[in-house]
């Protein structure tokens, strides 16, 4: 029993953190060995199970990342960019697999994560669900099959608390569509039109973000031409799809060579 991989959940009180705690404790392939929150958070010092309103789980919420990661074979991290960059270095020092779900990372953040991945396994994806990762493969294929007569627009919707836009998933889908077209997304990205924008530029990929209510995460990739439209759609209705993917990544990463991987690697897509 005790040789099962030990998992630490960062941001344990968060929307994803709580689902991850439930997913890990329900699994017979791993054990929960730590729960981390930011210094000053009310839950620090409490048992994670009772803090979540259930039975005690025998794991006390800590704000000490170094001590907590020392117990881990994997760290599952859905927090915020500054925390995730710091955790990448600390997880690598602890030689723990670092599964990163955090979105809104800058190119500089990703470069720092790349450096940490020289020493440890990091699996990072803006969306950990099987459905979205499959959709990226489809978006790339459709974009490759169609020319720029088909305007590509990506529309995403999330809950009112989300702080970054476009979503990490929208950017994954945009990267996939751009790769299908053989272009760099940075050269064709057109985010959040407003005002007298001028006519749409041929070949651009547009991004639009809706924020409201408790929407878990909806994504449409629209290919619009004269006379017809194709829409590829994913709708998440339960955050457990992300948590299951993250746990799969944490287990997949055990005994893997150091490197910066994504969910396509994990899922073999
Ligand atoms: N890749 C994927 O499949 C998914 C990614 N996400 C992303 O995950 C992130 C978190 O999303 P939510 O859970 O909805 O947010 P949330 O705001 O509910 O949770 C974030 C948690 O991280 C904690 N935190 C922040 N800084 C910390 C630090 N230095 N140390 C320890 N804990 C810290 C916060 O206190 C909070 O409890 C976002 O970037 C979101 O876009 C969310 C769902 C799926
Ligand atoms: O913040 C969220 O909630 C989500 N974030 C991810 C993203 O930015 O795409 C994944 C999912 O859509 C939920």
Question: ipTM, 2 decimals?
Answer: 0.99
Average pLDDT of the chain to the nearest whole number:
98
- Is residue 73 within 8 Å of residue 7, measured between CB atoms? yes
pLDDT at residue number 197: 97
In terms of residue numbers, what domain contains 80?
A: 6-124+239-267
Pair type for strands 228-236 and 217-225: antiparallel
Overall number of domains in the chain:
2
Query: Does ligand 2 lie within 6 Å of residue 158's CB atom?
Result: yes
- Say how many Å lie between the CA of residue 84 and the centre of ligand 2: 15
Residue whose tokens read 């439930």:
22
Residue 40, token pair as written in the block: 């000053």
* Residue 251 and residue 176 in one domain: no
* Closest C-alpha residue for ligand 1 atom 28: 38
Pair type for strands 259-261 and 121-124: parallel
Atom in ligand 1 nearest the alpha carbon of residue 245: 3
What is the pTM assigned to this prediction?
Answer: 0.98
DSSP string covering 118-138: TTSEEEE-S---HHHHHHHHH
* Residue 205 and residue 216 in one domain: yes
Closest CA to 218 of 268, 261, 179, 173: 173
How far is the first Cα of the chain from the last one, in angstroms, to the nearest whole number? 31
Cα gap 228→168, rounded to integer Å:
28
| Among the bound ligands, the one closest to the CA of 169 | 2
Residues paired with 141 in a beta bridge: none
CATH of the domain at 178: 3.30.360.10
For the segment 163-220, what is each residue's pLDDT rounded down to a tens digit?
Answer: 999 999 999 999 999 999 999 999 999 999 999 999 999 999 999 999 999 999 999 9
For the segment 85-112, what is each residue's pLDDT rounded down to a tens digit?
Answer: 999 999 999 999 999 999 999 999 999 9
């Amino acid at each position: 029993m005790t040789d099962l991989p030990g998992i630490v959940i960062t941001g344990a009180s968060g929307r994803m953190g709580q689902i991850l705690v439930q997913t890990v404790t329900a699994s017979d392939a791993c054990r929960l060995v730590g729960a981390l929150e930011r210094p000053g958070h009310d839950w620090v010092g409490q048992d994670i199970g009772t803090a979540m309103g259930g039975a005690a789980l025998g794991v006390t919420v800590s704000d000490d990342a170094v001590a907590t990661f020392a117990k881990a074979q994997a760290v599952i991290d859905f927090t915020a960019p500054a925390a995730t960059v710091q955790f990448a270095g600390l997880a690598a020092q602890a030689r723990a697999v670092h599964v990163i779900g955090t979105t809104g990372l800058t190119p500089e953040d990703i470069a720092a994560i790349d450096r940490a991945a020289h020493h440890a396994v990091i699996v990072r994806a803006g969306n950990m669900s099987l459905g979205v990762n499959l959709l990226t493969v489809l978006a790339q294929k459709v974009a490759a099959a169609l020319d720029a007569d088909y305007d590509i627009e990506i529309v995403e919707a999330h809950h009112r608390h989300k702080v970054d836009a476009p979503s990490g998933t929208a950017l994954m889908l945009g990267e996939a569509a751009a790769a299908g077209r053989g272009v760099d997304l940075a050269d064709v990205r057109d985010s959040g039109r407003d005002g007298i924008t001028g006519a749409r530029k041929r070949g651009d990929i547009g991004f639009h973000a809706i924020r409201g209510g408790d929407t878990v995460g909806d994504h449409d990739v629209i290919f619009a031409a004269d006379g017809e439209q194709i829409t590829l759609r994913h709708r998440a209705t339960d955050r457990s799809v992300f948590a299951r993917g993250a746990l799969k990544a944490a287990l997949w990463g055990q005994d893997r060579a150091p490197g910066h991987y994504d969910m396509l690697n994990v899922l073999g897509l």
